Amino acid sequence: MSRKIDIMIVEPSDIIIEGLTSIFNNYNDINIIATLSDTEILHEKIISANPNIIIINPTLLNPLEKQKLNLLIQNRINTSLIALVYQYIESSSLHIFDNTIDIRAPKSSIVQTVRDCYSSQKGKISESYELSERETSVLILVAKGLSSKEIAENLHISVHTVNTHRKNITHKTGIKSVAGLAVYAMIHNLT
Amino acid sequence: MADLIVTNNSLILTLDRFGIPLGFGEKSVEDVCKQSNVSVNLFLMICNVYSFDNYIPDKQTITDTDLSQLIPYLLASHKYYMEKRLPHIENHLHDIADMVGEKYGKILLDFFSDYKNEFHKHFSYEEEIVFPYMQKLENGQRDNNYRIQKFVESHSNIEEALTDLTQIIYKYLPSSVMPDDSIELIFDILQLTSDLGKHSLIEDKILVPYVETLERRYK
């Protein structure tokens, strides 16, 4: 096994935190690096602890916080979000999460979800720093000022895929802002 | 005070914004602040935001501190960015634009002029809407048309595009630019970026919680 999966848990209930901790402690490849009971210092903690996976109770996030968290995570190619749900939650409110864990799920499936989430994440980073054809077409549309949703419609792919491409573009070019990407596109004669 | 500046050099930028003159000799932070009628607690709060990424002042400290100089401080920062740093960087960029040929030069200057507009909009919003709103609340006037939450939602990251500019300069510009010029400009931009980052942290960690406590009083 190469390296450990660093996990951060954001959950108000001590019982649940203790429970998850004791489950994960049985597995050498999983390492809990931080636990928070609310979202007050969530962003600071994510930046300083740099977790691979954040398991978070979605009821702690109001729509605005959700949006801000999404913005932060979008730029972090090695951080994924898993929602920890107690009961049925409408799927549209879970769109920012990469996966979900139901608290009634058996141990093995909880661990599997974490591992799957982590390995798909490693798969996202391609070795090359050259933009792929698909990424280039996404970049051109970003540079034109289109939103992820508009780009998805334009290229007939899902918003999620567009966001993955955007993460990769930022990862490869080091450029985050739309204005910066527009300059990149112009310098490379893409527009 | 001198020890403080030695420990974190960038704190020197905060002095002028508080109207604290240099030449303070061996005086303590408290004495220097008192001499310039600056709240020691506010000064230290800002030093903490500058120095520790994880620092968040607790609500009680914020309520107990005299924050009357917060807005003048923020305004002085805005003025420094708009009137000193941005023109300085722009001049530099013009020199570089002259060296890279018309195509690249135009791309760079257009990018920067768009950025300046964004920058201007960002600060005017704070100066025309957010600060007056806070002052109204301080004077005991309610304003039902605005909530600080709106500011939190729209408080965009204006440093990002600047960091991108440095990447563009050292990765993608043709090598006809003298390295000295590029490097100097990159340092200038990075310094501004980091100070802008601290500036928005001051707003997020001190201004916003303070206005929230003011708002709660009227609930």
With a CB cutoff of 8 Å and minimum separation 6, the contacts of A75 are A167, A170, A176
Whether A183 shows a pLDDT value over 80: the answer reads yes
Residue of chain A with shortest Cα separation from B104: A187
Q: Where in chain A is the domain with CATH 3.40.50.2300?
A: 5-124
Read off the pLDDT of each residue in A139-153 and give the average, rounded to a whole number.
93
User: What chain A residue is nearest to B157 in terms of C-alpha separation?
Assistant: A177
A41 touches chain B (CB under 8 A): yes
Longest dimension (CA), chain B: 62
Q: Cα separation of B27 and B34, whole Å? A: 11
Taking CB atoms and an 8 Å limit, are A41 and B56 in contact across chains?
A: yes
HEC per residue, chain B = CHHHHHHCHHHHHHHHHCCCCCCCCCCCHHHHHHHCCCCHHHHHHHHHHHHCCCCCCCHHHHHHCCCCCHHHHHHHHHHHHHHHHHHHHHHHHHHHHHHCCHHHHHHHHHHHHHHHHHHHHHHHHHHHHHHHHHHHHHCCCCCCCCCHHHHHHHCCCCCHHHHHHHHHHHHHCCCCCCHHHHHHHHHHHHHHHHHHHHHHHHHHHHHHHHHHHHHHHCC
Side-chain-side CA neighbours of residue A154 (13 Å): 16
For residues A175 and B168, is the Cβ–Cβ distance under 8 A?
Answer: yes
pLDDT of residue A126: 52
Q: What is the mean pLDDT of residues A145-174?
A: 91
Percentage of chain B lying above the pLDDT 70 cut = 100
Which of B118, B153, B167 is facing A174, going by the closest CB pair?
Answer: B167
pLDDT value, residue B145:
85
Q: Does A186 touch chain B (CB under 8 A)?
A: yes
Q: What distance separates the 2 farthest-apart alpha carbons in chain A?
A: 57
What's the pLDDT at A18?
95
Tell me if A40 and B56 make a contact (CB, 8 A cut-off): yes
Of the residues B164, B167, B175, B212, the best mutation for testing chain A's interface (the one with the most A CB atoms within 10 Å of its CB) is B164
Residue A24 predicted with pLDDT over 70? yes
| Mean pLDDT score, B142-167 | 88
Picking from B114, B164, B173, the nearest residue to A175 by CB comes out as B164
- C-beta separation of A112 from A143 below 8 A: no
A161, β-bridge pairs: none
What letter represents residue A43's amino acid? H
Q: Which residue has the tokens 């009357």?
A: B68
Report residue B208 CA to chain centroid gap: 15
CATH fold, domain A133-187, is Arc Repressor Mutant, subunit A (1.10.10)
On whether any CB of chain B is under 8 Å from the CB of A177, the answer is: yes
Q: Are strands A53-56 and A5-10 parallel, antiparallel or unpaired?
A: parallel
- The proportion of chain A whose per-residue pLDDT surpasses 70, expressed as a percent, equals 95
pLDDT for A128:
63
Contact across the interface for A183 and B160, Cβ inside 8 Å: no
The pLDDT score that the predictor gives to residue A68 is 84
Provide the β-strand partners of residue A83. Answer: A56, A100
Residue A32 phi/psi, 5-degree rounding, is -90, 115
Chain A / chain B CB contacts < 8 angstroms: 55
Q: How confident is the model at residue B133 (pLDDT cuts 50, 70, 90)?
A: very high
**Mean pLDDT taken over chain A:** 88
Q: Residues 50-69, chain A: which have Cβ within 8 Å of B?
A: 64
pLDDT tens per residue, range A78-119: 889 999 998 877 777 788 888 899 999 999 999 999 998 888
A-chain residues within 8 Å CB-CB of B172?
Answer: 184, 187-188
Token pair listed for B21: 């003159």
Chain A residues touching B163 at Cβ < 8 A: 176
Shortest Cα distance, chain B CAs vs residue A175, angstroms: 5
DSSP structural state of residue A137: H
pLDDT in tens, B35-51: 999 999 999 999 999 99
Residue with the larger pLDDT of the pair B180 and A128 = B180
Strand extents, DSSP E, A37-181: 53-56, 80-85, 99-102
Residues B87-119: tens digit of each pLDDT: 999 999 999 998 888 889 999 999 999 999 999
CATH code: domain A5-124 is 3.40.50.2300
Distance from CA of A188 to the nearest CA of B (A): 9
Q: In what order do the strands lie in the sheet with A80-85?
A: A30-36, A5-10, A53-56, A80-85, A99-102
Number of H helices, E strands in chain A: 8, 5
**Which pair of tokens denotes residue A12?**
């108000």
**A176/B160 CB distance under 8 A:** yes
Distances (CA, A) of B26 to A174, B36, B208: 44, 16, 35
In chain A, CATH 1.10.10.10 sits at: 133-187
What pLDDT score does B25 carry?
Answer: 92
- Residue A57 — φ and ψ, nearest 5°? -75, 115
pLDDT of residue A1: 43
Angle subtended at Cα A73 by Cα A69 and Cα A77, rounded to the nearest 5 degrees: 175
**pLDDT band, residue A127 (cuts 50/70/90):** low
* Minimum CA–CA partner of B118 in chain A: A179
> Can you give the pLDDT at residue B129?
94
Query: Which residues are CB-neighbours of A106 under 8 A, at least 6 positions away?
Result: none
Lowest-confidence segment of B54-58, B154-158, B206-210 by average pLDDT = B154-158
